[in-house]
Amino acid sequence: MNKKIEELLNAQIVKESYSSNLYLAMASWTESEGYSGISQWLYAQAEEEHVHMLRLLHYINDRDGRAIIPELKQPPVSFESIQKVFEEVYAHEKSITASINKIVDLTFEEKDYSTNQWIQWYVNEQIEEEKTAREILDKLKLSGLANMYLFDKDIMSFRTKKVGA
């Protein structure tokens, strides 16, 4: 496969793997703070990111490239608040969207129309991921700290799809 594309897809493996670890760190912290619903949402999100990483890995290998399993930096151990967790999720997803868009740009530059077609799945996925993070932040604003118990119970309603779907 095109070497420049392969490099950028491998760089995306790093990002999707880190996303998974970041959400796992958030899940673990929220679980230890007693937010079982929120942690459930974040554990599921971490699994989904792992699947995003695997899709890239198989695509690179299927196209006669070589997927590289990266060393990862450690995500934070604790977080300031639930609000900050979801602000970080939203900011992180926006950075992932920018990164996917760079891959799309390169597929045009390199005339790699197969990868261009294949990466559209991620383009659509990012629309969904940003939307969900924004909705959760809106809901948090509406419910406020006093209703955190209900928010924690309700958050799984924001999972519209199954892991790996």
Nearest residue (CB) to ligand FEO, 72 versus 145? 72
State yes or no: residue 155 binds ligand FEO (CB under 6 A): no
Among 2, 24, 52, 116, binds ligand FEO (CB under 6 A): 52
State yes or no: residue 16 binds ligand FEO (CB under 6 A): yes
Question: Interaction with ligand FEO in 75-94: which residues (CB under 6 A)?
Answer: 93
State yes or no: residue 103 binds ligand FEO (CB under 6 A): no
Nearest residue (CB) to ligand FEO, 16 versus 152? 16
Nearest residue (CB) to ligand FEO, 53 versus 82? 53
Distance CA 163, CA 99 (A): 22
State yes or no: residue 152 binds ligand FEO (CB under 6 A): no
Which of these, 157, 113, 121, lies nearest to 136 by C-alpha position? 157
State yes or no: residue 50 binds ligand FEO (CB under 6 A): no
Which of these, 41, 17, 70, lies nearest to 132 by C-alpha position? 41
Among 24, 67, 96, 140, binds ligand FEO (CB under 6 A): 96
Question: Which whole-number Å values give the CA distances from 77 to 14, 25, 28, 99, 127, in the listed order?
Answer: 19, 6, 9, 25, 28
Cβ atoms of residues 61 and 97 within 8 Å: no
Kindly state the smallest distance separating residue 52's Cβ from ligand FEO, in Å: 4
Kindly state the smallest distance separating residue 49's Cβ from ligand FEO, in Å: 5
When CB distances to ligand FEO are compared, the closest residue is 52
Q: Which residues bind to ligand FEO, rule: CB under 6 A?
A: 16, 19, 49, 52, 93, 96, 129
